[in-house]
Amino acid sequence: MLKTVSALFIPGGLVFCAALGFLRPHGSPPWAQTPISALPPIVLGFGVLFGWYVSSSRLILSLLVLALADRGLLLFPPIDPDPASMGPTVFAATAFLLPLNLLALSLVRDEALSTWRGIVRLAPILAQPFLVLWLSLPDQADLARALRQPLLPASLTAWSQVTQPALLAFLGALAMIGVRFACERNPLDAGALWALTASFTALHGLQYGWTPTNFFSAAGLILFLTLVQASHERAYRDELTGLLGKQAYEEALAGLGAKYTVAIVGLDQLKQYGNQHGKPVSEQLLRLVAPKIQAAAGQGQVYRLAGEEITILFPRKTATDTLVTLEAIRKAVDQFEGYVRGERVWEGSRSGTETLPLTASIGVAEAGTGKSSLSLVIKAAYRALYEAKGAGGNVVRRGTVAGEIAKPARAETGRIVAYSEFDA
């Protein structure tokens, strides 16, 4: 629960609260006004560059949507006293389209803007300013009036200048992205929620004299920071299970001393369930079991590198030191109760479902002498894992690291024996 709340509020919630404190009128001291005025171009520039670098059309197009909304409100203010002003129509159309655009961009698969899909997404966004201007023409007054048409009793929305169709669009977008975040806990969805909140504040605050540019900039900053956070997590964490990933594993290996233990955890029935029910079922099982392995691992560093096995490093530990922990992991997996209906997997009993029992085979090996290479220790752990599976599974087996023996080169060739030619 705490991790979910933290993922929701950091960094998006913190940035939004800071914006409420400092970006509203008289919210910041005079010396801070100049840096604050530089915030919009900085956010837009750095956001576009970073989005291009990481091939995120979602960030680039979201920043474009926010920038167009801001320019539209500044060029056509809704409080213009001129009866023929385009301001009210531009405001109503912008407030209605903004949440729909941010919702759509949060749902599509992210990829480079230079791809044909990125260009297809760019085209309707660039067309929307012309659509809004067309709606503002006197001949389209009846159509534009529909954007301000009350759908509920006026007393329910009297607190906001935002039109009722736009309010419903914001509520619908918040609800859909909120449900997706609750299911997947993706930081990008949390960022989209806070960006929508900041965008609504930009629109709603106009009636109080608040500058919309500041809060649109805050929305862009939230999207930028959450993409940075998500990119970091993708680099260091496995996307499926949330465990530490390959890059974190390689950095940990660089810091290993002469004394350490490696354990490989394999789920005995996972491949069988994948063949029987499909890959999505085996992936869901792995996602559900991974936190239990993480919780039972204690001081062990848990990684998923690829495939169905999970690797655990125990720095400065012997294999004997880790046996109690590995037995706890085995029991945690054995106590897991999985159920499947179709391609959906749950933990816990549900009527009309098929039971999916799971057990774990674990192979463990240590660098006991300090002369064994890491590759030999890992090979020994895998050999022990295969022995555990061959013995029926649901057991911990300890492997022995063989000594390194070099193959001598022929004297007449004079070639150097490569490391790969050493036998385990």
- Domain 246-398 belongs to what architecture? 2-Layer Sandwich (3.30)
Which amino acid is residue 273, in one-letter code?
Y
The confidence score (pLDDT) of residue 408 equals 46
pLDDT above 90 coverage of the chain, percent: 56
* All structural domains of the chain with their residue ranges: 2-236, 246-398
When pLDDT is averaged across residues 342-371 and rounded to a whole number, the result is 81
The pLDDT score that the predictor gives to residue 420 is: 36
pLDDT of res. 254? 86
* Tokens matching residue 385: 């894992």
Q: pLDDT digit string (tens) for 219-239?
A: 999 999 999 998 888 888 888
Which pLDDT value is given to residue 351?
Answer: 59
Mean pLDDT of 277-291: 91
When pLDDT is cut at 50, 70 and 90, the band that residue 82 belongs to is low
**Helix (H) and strand (E) counts in the chain:** 16, 8
pLDDT at position 347 over 80: yes
| Predicted local distance difference test score (pLDDT) of residue 268 | 93
What average pLDDT does the structure give for the chain?
87
Nearest to 353 by CA among 344, 362, 363, 361: 344
Reply yes or no on whether the pLDDT at 50 is more than 70: yes
Q: Is the pTM of this model over 0.85?
A: no
What is the phi-psi region of residue 188: left when phi exceeds 0, alpha when psi lies from -120 to 50, beta otherwise? Answer: alpha
Lowest-pLDDT range, 43-57, 325-339, 349-363? 349-363
Would you tell me how many other CB atoms lie within 10 Å of the CB of residue 338?
21
Mean pLDDT of 274-284: 89
C-beta separation of 281 from 340 below 8 A? yes
Instruction: Quote the CA–CA distance of 41 and 35 in Å, as a whole number.
Output: 11
Q: What are phi and psi of 401, to 5 degrees?
A: -85, 120
Q: What is the pLDDT of residue 416?
A: 38
pLDDT band at 201 (very low <50, low <70, confident <90, very high): very high
Dig out the tokens for 109 from the structure. Answer: 């698969």
Q: Please give the Cα distance from 364 to 68 (Å, whole number).
A: 58
pLDDT value, residue 40: 92
Write out pLDDT tens, residues 104-120: 999 988 888 888 888 89
Instruction: Identify the pLDDT of residue 87.
Output: 87
Between CA 58 and CA 102 the distance in angstroms is: 9
pLDDT for the residue 370: 55
Residue 132 has pLDDT above 60, yes or no: yes
Question: Per-residue pLDDT averaged across 181-196, rounded?
Answer: 91
Indicate the pLDDT class of residue 95, thresholds 50, 70 and 90: very high
pLDDT band with cut points at 50, 70 and 90 for residue 369: low
pLDDT over threshold 50, residue 166 = yes
Name the more confident of 293 and 159.
Answer: 293
